[in-house]
Every structure is written in C-alpha cells, then in structure tokens.
A and B are shown apart, each in its own frame.
Chain A
C-alpha cells in the first residue's frame, strides 16, 4: 500500500526533475522509482491488511497483480525511446509523471475494497491515458484517437457509476465485503430487480475497458492513433488492471448471482474471441493486428472469469504475465522498425516494413518471433502454458463448447502471428542494422528470456501465484 503513496510522490517529484535534468536521467530515475515501489509492494506480502478507512485491501493476489502492472510499467519506461527525442514539443518529465500516476490508478483498481476506490482508480488510470493517447500533439491521428478514447471512456465510466449506484441502492453498501455478505445471505428472489441491472452494468463498464466485443470498436483506432509506446501501456497495464477488477468482482462478490451474468459473460467471451481473431487476420498493419490480438486475448481471459476456484486466480495471473511480456516485446520491435521505416515507406507500421528484418538484425528478429510465438501459444514459450492453464481451468468446470471455440480460434491466431514471422525471416527486404540503445536492448532481451524461461519452467511463477 505504501507503494501507491510512494508512486504519487515520485510522480510529483518527476514533474520537478524535468526543470533540471535531461530526458535520459529522468528515464533512469523513473525506472528506479518503479523498482522502489515494487519493493514496497512486495513488503506487504502475506500481510492481509485494510487501509484508508477499510477502503483498500492488500492481499497476495492484489500484490501479484500490482507487481505485473509495475513490471509492465517498468518495461514501458525502459522502451520509451520514440518520444522525447526532440525536447521542444514533447515533455518527457510530464509523461513519465503521468505514467506513474496512472500506475497508481491501476494499483487502486486491483486492491479496492470499496466501490468508490474502484471508480477513482479507473478514473485516474483513464484520464492519464486520454492525455497520453493525445500526446503526439502535432499528429492528427493521435488527436483523433484521444478524443475517441475520451468520449468512449467517459461513456463507459457512466455505465460503471450507474451500476455502482444501483448496487448500492439494493445493498446499501459500497464495501465489497458487505455487499458480498448481503448477496450470499439474501435469496435472489427477494432482491430488487434493479440490482441485477446494476451488476450487469458494472460488468459491461469493465468489459469496455478490456475491449471485449461488442464494446471493442474504439480499440483498433485508439491503439493505432496513439504513439506506439502508449499503445504498449494501454494494451498491458489498462488491460491487466481492468481485468483484475472484473475478476475480483465477478468471481468474488457477484459469485452468488452466477445465473444472472454467466450467459452474457460467455456470450461476450465467445463473441470477443471470434471478432478479435477473425478481424486480426485481415490487418495489414502490425499495430492494428496487435490491437485485435489484444481483443482476442481478452476473450481467453474472460472465459476463466466465472470460477471461484483458487487455481483460476493463478491462471489469470500467469496469463497476464505471459501476455504482458510478449506484448511489450512486439510493440518495442514495432517502435524500432517503424521509426527506421518512417522516412522510407509510406506505411511504416505494416507487415511489409518488417520484411527482411532477420538479415541484418538477427537479435530483433528473434525477439519479435518469440513474442509472436508466445502470443500464438506455441510450446517453448510462456504463452503456451498461459493458454494451457486457462483451457484446463475452464474445462474442469465442464464448460466445453466455449473452450473448443477458443482452441479453434487459437489456431486462427497462428495465422496472423505467423504473418509477422514470415515477414521477418522469409521475405526479402532491405533493412540495415538498426541502432538499439543499450537500455532498450537489455529490456528487450529480459522480456524475451522471461518468455522462454516461463515457457520451459512455468512452476517458477505459477507456484508463487
């Protein structure tokens, strides 16, 4: 919990550091801040405590989620190369500060014990993201994406808030634990019917954030318009945080209302899988493909939501971690390649600009391919076990057809992820050696190694979760 106080202070001090120090220093300091906050997060391990008038709860699960979020933030900061090269128009200190603030929001979302904390956390995270999406001020697409994201996001927040209000009206409590007790002790028939609408609205509000179909329409455009580094941030941190919140609510306090939401949730998960995977097949742009891939991964995760089993928590954590590691690498290589190609081709983010990458940049090609393999769920990578745990968890609850659909869809996934590998290794193209900063390179290899180690020995973290 001290982590969120520390991160807020770090964020403010970052703003001031911008007066005196160049970007490079601020980047290193921000990394240091994140390491400190991760250490502070770990120090709460095995102390289940309530804070701030019982509104905030730290459990081992929430700590694990916060660690994944901060790890993702760490890599995003380490990869933040694309912006801040020209200091006149970009404000590195501010962006790093905003990133830290949004991490605070994300941590609030995974450790709330009070509905208002969930709402505040979501708002902190989202407002920060609206700013970051539009941070490439002179780019029309970035501005458009920011507006779009903002409008959609505020709409969603309205849903969530409305849902919270209705649930409060029915249970007279904002506290998760109280609501949970009331819901389990009262027979569903004696509940006011608007409770069920409230529950569904809350779920829809959060599904919006994880970009589940049919609430996904903003995702490809916003992901494509935003500077790639913030797309990376969105597709990992925002997703993990919203997903953790959803999981906590649905399988925790709303567990007794299983029959109310189970069908919509399964329907949405299957729709998300189909829409995400099938649309991804048709993308020419790697960035848009990754946007749809993030939609499809949301589909896999939603499949597991509806269980109260302990093993599911660890599966979701494992999946989030493996997805995060692979996604940041994919975006990082995309940043490098599109930066290199931006002066040379019209559409630097297309698959075609990756062609022939392996020839002079074998390291980048390898990292990119491993991340694609992991996202596709091929053995030897973390993604395989992520999918495996999710399928076996879902299967163990006798949910057969959605799992079969998910497995078929993961075969579709191979198609578009392999487009990347084929472009990198098998197509001929002229890409010279791309200069990669040392820090960037280290982060790239750390993620790639992480993906492989988790792929070979998943128990390493699975036993911790």
Chain B
C-alpha cells in the first residue's frame, strides 16, 4: 500500500492542481512534494530492513499475464529516493517567480513525478514501459508551453525522437515476453530467466533494440542531438526534471533490464556501446568548453557525465554499477543546483551569455560559494559526492579495458576545464554592465542552495551508508551476470 501511495500521491495532487486551479499552487505543490519525500523515506527505511525488498502485486491485464507490480530494492531505492528528494527542491526553485502560483505548471511537475516514480518502481516490464512513455507527456507540455525561443520545433523533435527510440524497446520487450512459457508473463524476474536462455544472435539484436531506446533517453553519442536544444529551450524546472531525474530512466533501464537479460548480447555489442559512451564523454566535454550559453554548457556537461555512467554500467562489475548508482544520485543533486544558479543569474541579469557576465562574487558571496561547491561536486573533486561515483566508475571502466579507461579518465580534466571556466567567467573578474548591482540571494533561494551544497559534501565525506543500502540489490544483480 505504501508503494501505491508514493506512486499516486503526486498525481492526485497534480490532478487537483490542474483541474481546480487553486490560487496557492506553490504552497500546495511544495507541501505535497515534502509529504511525498517523507513517505518515500519511510518506504526506503522499510525496504532496507525487509529481507527481499518490498513488493506489491495486483493483476492488471490478467489474460495477458501483465500485472501491476511494484518493488523496491537497493537498485531502484536510490532512484526513488533521488526523485522524491529532488522534486521539493525543484518546486522550491519556482518560489517568487511567475511560475510559482501557476497551477498548471505545478500540476504538470507533480504528474511528472508520478510517471518517474512509476518507471523506477515497476516490477513488470510493460508497466515500466507504460510509465517510461507516459513521462514524456507532462515534460513535453512543460517544455512546449513554457519554453523559450523556437520551442515548438525543438520540443517536438525531442518528443518524436525519444518516443521513436522507445518503440524499439517495445519491440524488444514484446519479443522476450512472447518467449516466456505458458500464457506469458512480463514480470521482470521471469523475463530475466527466459531472456538469458535465448541464442546469442537474438540476444545481440535485442541488446541493440534496448540500448537504442535507453541511449536516446540518456543520451549517448550519436543519439544526443535532441538534448542540448531541449535542455536549453525548456524552462529551468523542466530541464532539472529532464537532466536530474528523467535521464536516469535510461541508465536505470540499462542496469535493470539490459544487463541481466542479455549477457550474451553484451559480449557481442557491449564494447561498441562502451566506446560510444566514452566518445560521448569526450565529445560532450570538448563542446562544453566552447559554449557561450551557460545553460547549454551544463546540458553538454550532463551529456558527458551520463556517458561515463553508461560505460561503467556496461562494464558489468560491482564497482561499475555501484558507482553508476551513486553517480546518478550525485549528478541529480549537482545538476539541479547548477541549473538553479544559472536560473538565478538569468532572473537578475536576463542573460545566460557567459561573456556578458562576471564579477557576481562582489555582490553575492553565498551564491559564489554554492556555485563553487556544486561545481566541484560536478568536477568530482575528492570530498565531494561526485568523486565517489566517478572514482568507482573510472575504476570499473579501467578494469574492463585499460585504454578506454585512460581515455575516459581525460574527462575529469576536461570537466574541470569547462566547469572552472564557467565559474571564473561568471563569478569572478570585473562586473559587467548587466551584473552591476546584482541583487543578493533571497531567503527562498538560500533555502534551496544551502541544503544542496550540504548534500554535496555529506555525500563526499560519508558515502558508505548509501553504498551499503544499494549493495545487496547490486550484489544480487551481479550474481545473475556470472
């Protein structure tokens, strides 16, 4: 029942916001997302103590063996936690803006939370697919209605591109589902058993179908062309949802579905996929260095980070998966914080052009410190949360193949280049015409940034409790691979 609550509660409140259009949309949405966070923490606490995680099952389409089943274990627990943790912050970033009491905007964000939660919670492959696709609707409308210049064409490309990709996933899922014995079942654990029995050639093809779908979602080179434009044009909160949480559906799909289902497929195609991911890291970083628009720079940095996660996951080692899970959490926190800082700057100066900014540190000390901490987390400096994840990921890629590992390792340097350049050009130096008289942070803005910075440091200093939480689930998953 508690699983049902955390799944549908945001949707219910979101629907109320959309239909009733109350005046205090911001307060309702913020309180709802905090209740959701508390409920999720309680669920996770139960899951950590329960023997085999929590499971909830109800028949859904009985004739076809499709059930409405949800579960929480170490692997998805961290993503559910991330989703529940970040949404209150994302809601809070709208404070005092024109979107704060826009009930449609808040309602769509909460609806999005349900879709994301559903994809992470699903234990049935088609239920996963259902939410995986359904999540596109609220985010599409968020981006398309409230987006910036040229939004129609860009958001439309995003929608069609990602939906097109997930159709491959649908083909693959149906194929595996039809192989299951008897009257078929689409339970993920049943699919593990049947899929691994398939011959190598078929597993290879299925791996490709699944990988394309997830690669478009993450995105992985060369399927990333929708991403920078969409991240740039979408309103900041939608970008946060996209990069902070939604792209994790892709990496989660790799861990949950691809690894245990197609071990032989990975033997055939895994290396290619890892190489593509690593190309993405380098390519994304190099392009990020040249960006003029700060939001676009962060979009490319997100693209680079996700490449490393994907490479680590595909190395199929315990460290790789653990590192990827940890990095998903840290990346979610860091990128939301960074996007918020760019939004703060944009609200005051009406510009995101790096060349036009500068000298903000003279006016807002807290903003500078927060920016530096979050950036260092993103660069993966020791004692920040990014370090733990990146270290484990790089180690796993290195163990898998030394040369690929070395190439991927360059990403840390490149990451430092573009991130530090961003800070230097925006925060330090002389103030410009538009950053003159930069207004200091409001209380609401501090309330968002300070906890996020605390998470960055906490995650870097004391990672074990999270790694311990995920370990049993990942251990079980890795044992399937051997």
Chain A interface residues toward B at CB < 8 A: 311, 314, 373, 378-380, 384-385, 388-389, 391-392, 395-396, 403-404, 407-408, 410-411, 414-415, 418, 422, 425-427, 457-459, 462-463
Residues on B with C-beta less than 8 A from A396 are 178
Residues of B with C-beta under 8 A to A459? 59-63
- Report the minimum CB–CB distance from A296 to chain B (whole Å): 15
A385 to B133, CA, bound (A): 13
B residues touching A (Cβ–Cβ < 8 Å)? 59-64, 126, 129-131, 133-134, 136-137, 141, 144-145, 151-152, 156, 159-160, 163-164, 167, 170-171, 174-175, 177-178
Chain B residues in 8 Å Cβ range of A410: 167
CA distance A181 to B59 in the complex (A): 40
Given A378-B137, A411-B164, A422-B152; A391-B170 close (CB under 8 Å): yes
Known: A395-B178, A410-B167, A414-B159. A463 touches B62 (CB 8 A): yes
Contacts of B130 in A (CB 8 A): 379, 384
User: In the complex, are the beta carbons of A422 and B60 less than 8 A apart?
Assistant: no
Which one of A373, A391, A415, A462 lies within 8 Å of B63 (CB-CB)? A462
Chain A contacts of B151 at CB under 8 A?
A: 426
The interface residues of chain B lying within 8 Å CB-to-CB of A458 are: 61
Shortest beta-carbon distance from B418 to chain A in Å: 33
A-B contact pairs, 28 of them (CB 8 A): A373-B137, A378-B134, A378-B136, A378-B137, A378-B163, A379-B130, A380-B137, A384-B133, A388-B170, A388-B174, A392-B174, A395-B175, A395-B178, A403-B171, A407-B167, A411-B163, A411-B164, A414-B159, A414-B160, A414-B164, A418-B159, A422-B144, A422-B152, A422-B156, A425-B145, A426-B144, A426-B151, A462-B61
Number of A-B residue pairs at CB separation under 8 A = 76
**What is the interface of chain A mostly: helix, strand, loop, or mixed?**
helix
> Given A378-B137, A380-B137, A314–B177 Cβ distance below 8 Å?
no
Report the minimal beta-carbon distance from B149 to chain A, rounded to whole angstroms. 13
- Complex CA distance for A415 and B63, rounded to whole angstroms: 32
A384–B170 alpha-carbon span in the complex (Å): 11
Q: Closest residue of chain A to B165, judged by CB?
A: A411
Contact of A425 among B63, B133, B144 (CB under 8 A): B144
List the 10 shortest-distance A-B pairs measured between CB atoms, nearest first: A411-B164, A379-B134, A379-B133, A407-B167, A392-B174, A379-B130, A396-B178, A459-B61, A395-B174, A380-B134
Alpha-carbon distance A107/B164, docked complex (angstroms): 38
Q: Which residue of A has the minimal Cβ distance to B179?
A: A396
With both chains docked as a complex, state the minimum distance between the C-beta of A419 and any C-beta of chain B, in angstroms.
9
A426-B152 CB under 8 A given contacts A458-B61, A459-B63: yes
The CA of A392 and the CA of B130, in the complex, are separated in Å by 15
- A69–chain B nearest beta-carbon distance, Å: 23
Chain B residue nearest to A457 (CB atoms) is B60
Q: Are A311 and B178 in contact (CB under 8 A)?
A: no
Provide the bound-state CA to CA distance between A410 and B129, in Å: 16
CB distance from B296 to the nearest CB of A (A): 22
Q: Provide the bound-state CA to CA distance between A427 and B163, in Å.
A: 22
Assess the A407–B171 pair: CB atoms within 8 A: yes
